Structure 1
Amino acid sequence: MQKLIPTLSFLLFILSCSNPEKKTTSTIDFTTTFEKSQGTQTPSYTEVIAYYQNLANTFPEINIREIGATDSGNPLHMVTLDPNGEFNFDKIRSNNRILLINNGIHPGESDGIDATMLLFRDIAQKKIKAPKNTTLVTIPIYNIGGALNRNSGTRTNQNGPIAYGFRGNARNYDLNRDFIKNDTKNAQTFAKLFHLVQPDVFIDNHVSNGADYQYTLTHLFTQHNKLGGALGNYLHQEMHPQLEAALVNKKWDITPYVNVWGTTPEKGWTQFMDSPRYSTGYTTLWNTLGMMVETHMLKPYKKRVEGTYELMKSMIEIIEKDGTKITKLREKAFSDVVTQENYTVQWKLDTTKITTFDFKGYEGNFIESKITGAKRLKYDQKKPFTKKVKYKNYFKSAVNIKVPKAYIIPQGWWTIKELLKRNNIEFKVLEQDSTITVETYHVKDYNSRNTPYEGHYLHYNTQVKTSKEEITFTKGDMVILTHQKGFRYLIETLEPQAPDSFFNWNFFDTILQQKEGFSPYVWEDKANELLSQNNELRIKFQKKKKDTAFANNWYAQLDWLHKQSEHYEKAHLRYPVYRIPK
């Protein structure tokens, strides 16, 4: 039998975890790996967790706890810094606003990991002013499997640190595409943490790809029209400008995330639309004010970490100042949204509204490639410029649905039930078999990706037709009222036309395959008998045959007739989530 000998550092880590309540006057050196390396290195996963454990053992206002499993086999940790040393979130919410900071979703983008370690330490050691009415919560490293897959090469475009984690998690999922579909244990545990914490504001720390420009910091707030109402207006008109102004005052220029690929940014760009597969798109479903920090990949690592640190400090200052307003706006958003008669499930760019601002870039030209001979983009950092650019950051409704009073889902779709439970969705089950008149969707058309995307062949451009049916549901089927806190989540997942609906993520693909068919030599005679007995059908069939392609395809004719008969199965293309109208 092979004996496993733990390393000294691992033993020290275990010992430090064994007394979570003990607070000591410590001589521990809280200088981080980032600082010791003069801004060139980031710590390993075990070093990060040990660091926070030591902080928690030393400072009574800091707590670390395990929340749940991840695909790596390691637990997801949550670290809380509360000015009053209160770690019961029901009590915290009665007095404070909560800022949730997510780090290491892409562990190669480690800026936030280091910046948050510095932030928690500096507040605890009173090196910077501690917030009075804001509780900070951080996930030290979300993608633990990726962090353990440490290397120095996969971030081809990035200027430091020396070694870092990998983008894919332990099962090679990109976790910033998994929030709504919940394929990974990471995402399932995040949902548990998110609903425990119920943050007012959410920050997800990243590093950008794309164009070259002068800024170290860029921001990507959740799309304000999508958030909607007074809360969306506050995000767009107050929080966003305040953050930019605060950072400029600190000599940290910042610009909206430069959503430009393969060309230069002078002509402007369109705001990235964060659907619920992304972290901020998911957190927005519960009216949390969300933003991503995107530092620029080519700037020195030290500068990127310092910029992320200052941005988080500035956001805390805004929350301290506007905390009461944020609380009231979020409460109003929860009460207003459930009264909506209509809800937008697809958005399109509003070309009538454009934001113009001064952008600090570098001149770029297309020159001949020495490798391929084709034209390649080359930026000249010796030629900086400031130019007016057009930023298209307004969207309008493209597809609206009428909000139902409730949804009914047959109990056989237990995978959907599990997703709803993870997200604190309230539902009841039928206590007896019941016949109910419902609105039914039939899938009219859809497209699918030709290549796999995050473990799925994602559908898009989904179209449905609606009919009313009287259906008998059985004891145990789920009835889900829309008038609840998870309103947005329900609409975005259960309406098949929504980009990140459960239908589009392939959770209902079995309805797309016809299970029963016909043998042509048998059906030919039955179809002929059907036409002889149904004059209306015979007329429709003759009109249909005016289509040359249809007329020249004998099988298509038999199939069409089969679909008009009682033999055609009802389940084919019938979406198994039913709507009870208001």
Structure 2
Amino acid sequence: MRFLLFTLLFSTLMFSQKPVSLQTPFEKGNGNQSTTYDECIRYYQDLDANYSTIQMIEKGKTDSGKPLHIVIFSENKNFDVNQNKAIVLVNNGIHPGEPDGIDASMMLMRDLATAKIKVPKNTMVVVIPVYNIDGMLNRNTSSRANQNGPEEYGFRGNARNFDLNRDFIKSDTKNSRSFQELYRSINPDVFLDNHVSNGADYQYTFTCIATQHERLGTTLGNYFINEFYPGIVQSMNQKKIDVVPYVNVHSTTPDKGFEQFTDTPRYATGYTTLFNTLGFVPETHMLKSFKERVKVTYEFMVSVINYTDANWQKIKDIRSESYNEYKAGTNYPIDWTIDSTKVSYIDFKGFEGKNKPSDISGKDRLFYDRSKPFTKKIPFYGNYKPSKFVSVPKSYAIPQSQWQVIDLLKLNKIDYTQLKNDTIIEVESYKIDSYQTSKSPYEGHYGHYNTKVSKKTEKLKFVAGDYVFSTKQPAAKYLLETLEPEAVDSYFNWNFFDAILQQKEYFSAYVFEDVAKELLDINPILKAEFDAKKQSDKAFSDSGSAQLDWIYRHSDYYEKSHLQYPVYRIVK
């Protein structure tokens, strides 16, 4: 009996004892090996089972059929994201061929759980272990032709061949829809999306896209670019790690200078700025060793967590204040251009770039001479200025027939009301005057750009069940960026309203000729406009069909739905 009790006690102690350390596959290897998906998930399951400060949760589906996970570290063992703490959200493997963050985050969460590094008291850390699961399962050794390790990695596209870092507005994938739900439920204060660069060669291991600060608004944007980001850079410099803006140069050398990458809302950090989250895209240099890249990614995440924890209340307060910046009647910028009048100079550490004859073609080719490093001041254009504004309406009215768009707004937890009765509402309505369409497919779409609209005020009937989305809510910027058709990543430009671009009814010329003549005879104002156009436009004057079509479009016979944008602005 004593032996049995001793055995039971010994077994209990053995199985309840937490491991001193859990080595990751990266640490067990030679520094050039990245975890597989199954190894990664099992690792986090072990952390969850052994440490009360770690919790792993399934958060929606992906195109792969496998669930999206989040892993949470909370020092007080309370995993309620609504407690009064800052939240740092880390996304990994949106491009699984760039796996540095996947492996670095495994070590980070273990080191937080074991208190190997400073434990944040006022900040929760939430990690998405792998976002593009299907891409990570598509493991290979060759799809990143320009990258120095690891030995095996995933593929950029997901199972349906979407680049998930272009899907944060159109939401064609289950991954994006799951992300939006978890992101809006977590409401992180800081967001990191770990990547590896493409492009030029230079001395740095670590580069970084600090999200376009102007999109965060005045107060929050100034705090981000003048305090938060410099604080992180200083922390990295103290670790002897240089940080330089993402080198947005691909077909030439960076020694002439370069511009800040513009992360519009289609990208992860462009999307998160719409909800006033401070965002970074770490971009380690593809030609540095995998071991070096994982190390600097790890250190950047630690620096961000520590700075956030030290300034958590200030960050939350400024974010909260910034939600009220764009009120009804104020102007909101929907397009941006580089402000060339604002330039800073970087002591850039590069390699001499030159041309030499190609061994393949005999033509000149670019190559970087690593035996000739240099440090020189180069211009960096890191500021944008608005190039187009729209006035913020009080709300948007959307007929319930536009369910596809309404579903996406609901997915993003945008507040709304529905009309209880049929109602006449005075609105500003848009007509699509012109647009251009891409001639090549882009992420499953032939997107529009250079969209131009005209606007008029009218009273329209909306029916019971139609939707009204107020701009007096924290998600106001999301409404403006998606519902204003001239915005770069609007739902219109992503083809959600293409049905309005096609006429459904036409006329037979031999019948309409007589009708057109009658219309001109009974409407002298129309006749005067018609004659003036004939005199001023020779092509129009020479084309009988164009003249007939013009009269048709200016008559009651012309369908009102053609080019009529079916989202309406309420300004009163």
With normalisation by structure 1, the TM-score equals 0.94
Out of 546, 555, 561, the residue aligned to residue 551 of structure 2 is 561
SS at match of 1:105: coil
Q: Which amino acid aligns with 1:65?
A: I
Structure 2 Cα separation of the partners of residues 467 and 340 of structure 1: 16
Task: Please give the secondary structure, in 1, of the residue aligned with 2:487.
Answer: coil
CA distance in structure 1 between the aligned counterparts of 2:239 and 2:74, rounded to whole angstroms = 26
d(CA) in 1 for partners of 2:218, 2:233: 22
User: Which AA in structure 2 matches 1:579?
Assistant: R
3-state SS of paired residue (1:89): coil
Q: Which residue of 1 aligns with 2:5?
A: none
2:140 to 128, 132, 151: 151
Residue of structure 2 equivalent to 1:282? 271
1:420 to 404, 409, 414: 409
Amino acid aligned to 1:32? T
1:554 maps to amino acid: G
Q: CA deviation at 1:260?
A: 0.7
In the alignment, structure 2 segments of 5+ residues that lack a partner are 1-14
Equivalent residue for 1:48? 40
Q: CA deviation at 1:538?
A: 1.5
Q: Which residue of structure 1 aligns with residue 10 of structure 2?
A: none
For residue 11 of structure 1, what is the aligned residue in structure 2? Answer: none
Residue 527 of structure 1 is aligned with which of 516, 524, 549? 516
Q: Hey, what's the Cα distance between the residues in 2 that align with 1:558 and 1:340?
A: 41
* Match of residue 106, structure 2, among 95, 112, 117: 117
Is residue 378 of structure 1 aligned with residue 370 of structure 2? no
Tell me the CA shift for residue 152 of structure 1: 0.4
2:332 equivalent among 319, 343, 346? 343
Whether 1:540 aligns to 2:529 is yes
The match for 1:216 is: 205
Hey, what does 2:81 align to over in structure 1?
Answer: 89
> Does the 8 A contact of 1:99 with 1:202 survive in 2?
yes
1:163 aligns to what?
A: 152
Work out whether residues 24 and 57 of structure 1, in 8 Å CA contact, stay in contact via their aligned partners in 2: no
Shift of 1:336: 2.7
Unaligned runs of 5+ in 1: 1-22
In the TM superposition, residue 372 of structure 1 has moved relative to its aligned partner by 2.2
| Deviations 1:441-473 (CA, angstroms, capped at 9, x unpaired) | 001111111011011111111111001111111
Q: What SS does the corresponding residue of 1:335 show, helix, strand or coil?
A: coil
- 2:215 and 2:274 in contact (8 A); partners too: no
Does 1:252 pair with 2:244? Answer: no
Structure 2 counterpart of 1:568, one-letter code: Y
1:112-511 equivalences in 2 (<5 Å): 112-338=101-327, 341-511=330-500
SS at match of 2:464: coil
Distance 1:402 1:339, change over 3 A: closer
Is contact 1:355–1:393 with CA below 8 Å preserved after alignment?
yes
SS in structure 2 of the partner of residue 545 of structure 1: helix
CA apart distance, 1:291: 0.6
Which residue of the other structure, out of 52, 60, 67, is the alignment partner of 1:68? 60
Within 1, Cα distance between the matches of 2:157 and 2:425? 46
Structure 2 match to 1:4: none
Name the aligned partner's letter for residue 480 of structure 1: F
1:28 to partner: Cα distance: 8.2
The answer on 1:578 being equivalent to 2:550 is no
Structure 2 distance, partners of 1:484, 1:260, is 38
Residue-pair matches, total: 557
- Kept in 1: contact 2:45–2:56 (CA 8 A): yes
Offset at 1:30?
Answer: 1.3
Structure 1 residue 261, shift from structure 2 partner: 1.5
- Please tell me the residue identity of whatever aligns with 1:549: A
What displacement does 1:339 show?
Answer: 5.8
TM-score relative to the length of structure 2: 0.96
CA distance in 2: counterparts of 1:297 and 1:440, whole angstroms = 48
Contact kept, 8 Å, 2:329 with 2:393, in 1: the verdict is: no
| Cα shift at 1:88 | 1.4
CA distance in 2, matches of 1:433, 1:24: 64
Contact kept, 8 Å, 1:338 with 1:484, in 2: the verdict is no
Contact 1:511 1:575 in 2 (8 A): yes
Q: Distance in 1 between matches of 2:328 and 2:397?
A: 20
Cα distance in 1, alignment partners of residues 231 and 20 from structure 2: 37
Is the 8 Å Cα contact of residues 98 and 201 (structure 1) preserved in structure 2?
Answer: yes
Where 1:123 maps in the other structure, the secondary structure is helix
Corresponding residue SS for 1:336: coil
CA positional deviation for 1:224: 1.1
- Superposition RMSD on alpha carbons, in Å? 1.2
Aligned to 1:13: none
Q: What is the percent sequence identity of the aligned residues?
A: 52
